[in-house]
Amino acid sequence: MPFIGKDWRSPGGLWVRTNSGWQKISAIRKNLNRHIKRVALERISGAQDSDTNLKDQDKASKLLTAKNVSKTVKFTERPKRHYLFLPTKCLTSKQRGKYLTVGEVLCSLDFCTALSDPRRFHYVCKVIELIIEEHFSTLCGSAMKYLFCILEEGVNIVELSHLFIHRLSTLLKRTKDKMLSDKNKQIGCQALYNCRLHLLGLWEKRLQEISLVEREDDGKPTLQDLPVNCQRFLLQCFSDPADVIHVAETNKHFYILGSDPLLWEKLFFYHFTEAQLQAVLRGPITEQKIDWKLMFKRLMKRYEQTEEYTSMLQQCMRCNCIFWQEDGHPCCHFSLDETLRDTTILCTKDLSPKDLIAIITD
């Protein structure tokens, strides 16, 4: 209970009962003065903006005359490049050097906008999946907020494009399972935790309500109109075996093509090596008749598949800059060697999602 008097618990200020509880009059005065200053600044800035708009309109009206219309030039804005320089470690000092956080990486490389590019969608989802599995319970408030912004942006993009529905729904399910398993390790209040769980449920429901409409017969060729050799070649280009299985489930013709042993043999040796196959078999490979589809499913439970992405992050070995492959970066180091100046293979390397997470946690 508030009081007035000389006591070690209070300097003797006046207290007032409010809707949120007991508060000091001095604190109420400070909040009121702060509110008055903020309102005054907003009014002053609004008046200045209106004055500048009027001046700009007057200048524009003077420029766009009959004599100057032909002389006006249209300027296009340059696209913003997103890159991140890695902090250098000080080996001579005992103090810890600068380090990167998950929130800085997600914000600097703009993962939220990268989802709109279909070439970067799987890469971003894999990075978010690794962050959720390994660092979800230790994320700060800003990183957690930006992570959920990325998930929301992904749901909006999938609703418009009707692509990558299964990939995003799997990511949302893993996020929800991780939140439920690490309930006691979450940073934040219970209300925020319940709000995030509710958002994940709403996003999963939105993905389930997406209905794919079959294309109408418009006279244009379809996949079935292609020759059989072209169809077999397209199936061999798939790196994910789940895509081959889904195509084989459409009709009887593609089921026969999807069950081709030669197709599954090429998929098998793309993801696994001969040494991994020999570890499962008892005798030589040449003396056994192998069901490649069944063997692929067997080794998929034991080993990891080969990851392949259309667009990846790259690291410059000269200036330690991380950038998107298509955007490039302003390299701040120019080598005197002419052989290295012309070639970009020797000075850049691709970063897989695991390599990126390893850089963050290093």
pLDDT > 90: what percent of the chain? 10
pLDDT of residue 204: 92
Determine contact, residues 321/85, Cβ cutoff 8 Å. yes
User: What pLDDT was estimated at residue 58?
Assistant: 55
pTM greater than 0.85: no
Q: Which of 29-43, 158-172, 278-292 has the highest mean pLDDT?
A: 158-172
Nearest CA among 141, 147, 78 for reference residue 107: 147
| 112-137 as b/e: b if 16+ CB within 10 A | bebbeeeebbbbbbbbbbbbbeeebe
The yes-or-no verdict on residue 49 having pLDDT over 70 is no
DSSP 300-330: HTTSPPPP--SS-EEEETTT-EEEETTT---
Least confident range of 46-50, 83-87, 179-183, 188-192: 46-50
Is residue 192 over pLDDT 80?
Answer: yes
- Mean pLDDT score of the chain, rounded to an integer? 76
Q: Is a pLDDT exceeding 90 seen at residue 102?
A: no
Distance separating alpha carbons of residues 361 and 355, to the nearest angstrom: 10
What average pLDDT score do residues 232-245 get? Answer: 81
CA–CA separation, 111 vs 150, rounded Å?
7
What mean pLDDT do residues 288-306 have? 79
Distance (Å, whole) CA 314 – CA 326: 10
Q: Between 165-181 and 190-208, two packed helices, what is the crossing angle to 10 degrees?
A: 160
> Which of 50-59, 274-283, 310-319 is the least confident region?
50-59
Q: Is 141 helix (H, G, I), strand (E, B) or coil?
A: helix
In this prediction, residues 326-355 reach a mean pLDDT of 64
CB-based burial of residue 56 (10 Å sphere; 0-12 exposed, 13-18 middle, 19+ buried)? exposed
- Average pLDDT rounded to a whole number, residues 338-346: 46
Percent of the chain clearing pLDDT 70 (strictly above): 76
